[in-house]
Structure 1
Amino acid sequence: MDKVLIRGLKVDATIGIHDWEKQIKQPVVLDVDLSYDCYAAGQSDDIKDALDYFAVSQKLSHFISLSHFELIEALAEHCCQLLLKQFPVNKVKLTLSKPEAVPNAQSVAVQLVRKA
């Protein structure tokens, strides 16, 4: 199966279990693999036959910026379900990272794989 990949999508989110985290925005970074048959788009060279990665990125960014979650696992799960419901994909692999969440670590992350 073909894939459309989005790498390093940075969005400010209200995420965390601590009271102070619920009062601020923190960056999260997403890497998304979307299983999508690219054959028609490759033949037609027409956006109507493609998975619009700009629209996918905008939808994710908007959802995350308005949401409030305590756990990155919950945010990642909701992002996967949103993608499966709103775009013509049958499989999503999503890695959601929270930079600087742990001292001396570049980031912490979860990776989910979900199918329609």
Structure 2
Amino acid sequence: MDKVFVKGLRTDALIGVYEWEHEQRQPLLVDLTMDWDQAAAAASDELEHALDYAALSQAVVKLVESRPRQLIETVAEEVAQLILSEFQVTTVKVCVSKPKAVAAAQTVGVEITRSRS
């Protein structure tokens, strides 16, 4: 299966379990890898046959920034469900990183893979 990916999509979210984390937006980085058959897009050279990663990226940022959450696990699951339902991919891998969560680490995060049932 072919893949489409988006790496390092930055969002600024109200995220965390501590009260102060809901007072100041923090960066999250989202990496996405989606199964997508590229044959029609390659043959036609038309966006209508491709997975529109610009529109997909805008939808993900809008979702993540829409409301506060405690856990990046929740963000990952909601992003996966959005992509599966709105963009008609069959499988998506979502990695959400929170660079400022642990002072001694470059970043921490979660990675999930979901498929349409």
| 2: CA distance, partners of 1:79 / 1:24 | 21
**TM-score normalized by the length of structure 2:** 0.97
Q: Which residue of 2 aligns with 1:61?
A: 61
SS at match of 2:89: coil
Q: Please give the alpha-carbon distance, in whole angstroms, between the structure 1 residues aligned to 2:90 and 2:75.
A: 20
Indicate the structure with greater strand content: 1
1:100 equivalent in alignment to 2:100? yes
* Residue 45 (structure 1) aligns with: 45
Q: Segments of 4+ in structure 1 off by > 3 A?
A: none
Q: Which residue of 2 aligns with 1:114?
A: 114
Question: Sequence identity of aligned pairs in percent?
Answer: 42
Q: How does 1:1-116 map to 2 (within 5 A)?
A: 1-116=1-116
Q: Distance in 2 between matches of 1:94 and 1:103?
A: 23
Give 1:80's aligned amino acid: A
Which amino acid in the other structure matches residue 22 of structure 2?
Answer: K
Tell me how far apart the structure 2 counterparts of residues 78 and 3 of structure 1 sit (CA, whole Å): 20
| Number of aligned residue pairs | 116
Q: Note the C-alpha offset of 1:83.
A: 0.6
Unaligned runs of at least 5 residues, structure 1: none
Q: CA RMSD in A?
A: 0.6
Deviation at residue 67 of structure 1 after TM alignment: 2.2
* Deviation by residue 1:63-88 (Cα, 9 ceiling, x = unmatched): 11112110000111011001101001
Q: How many angstroms apart in 1 are the aligned matches of 2:68 and 2:86?
A: 20
The superposition leaves residues 44-70 of structure 1 with CA deviations (integer Å, 9 ceiling, x where unpaired) of: 000000000000000001111112110
